[in-house]
Amino acid sequence: MLMPTHSCPRCAIGRLTPRQIPYTRVHEGMFISLPNVTVSTCDVCGFEETDQRALSQLDALVGEFGAVPSENRPAAKLPPVDPDSADTAVQTPRIKP
C-alpha cells in the first residue's frame, strides 16, 4: 500500500500521497503513453510530483536519442484544413427540417 511520503514543496501544508495513473502527453507532435506511473499529489493544493523512475522511462523514449524525425512519422493531430483549398465540387448534403 502506498503511504504519504513528505510535505508538499509548494504549499508546505499538505502531504504528498503517491498513486498510480497513466501518463499521456503529446511531445513534439508524438503521442506518448506510459501506464502505471507513480505521481505524488498534494491533498491541499493539488501539486503533482512525478516519480524519478517514470522520468527515466520518459527520457529513454524521447531523451538523448530524441524522437523519431517528424518526416518519418504521422502527426498525433491532423493539420487544419484550409477551406479555400478544399474541393467545392463535393459537398455534404444538407438535411431539410
What is the structure's pLDDT at 1?
45
Mean pLDDT confidence for 70-97: 60
Give per-residue pLDDT as tens, 85-96. Answer: 655 555 555 565
Give me the chain's average pLDDT, please: 75
Contacts of 41 (CB under 8 A, 6+ apart): 16, 17, 19, 47, 48, 49
Cell of 4: 504519504
Mean pLDDT confidence for 50-76: 68
- From CA 51, how far away is CA 58, in angstroms rounded? 11
Mapped onto helix, strand or coil, the DSSP state of residue 72 is helix
Structural domains of the chain sorted by starting position, each given as residue range(s) with its CATH number in brackets: 1-64 (3.10.20.860)
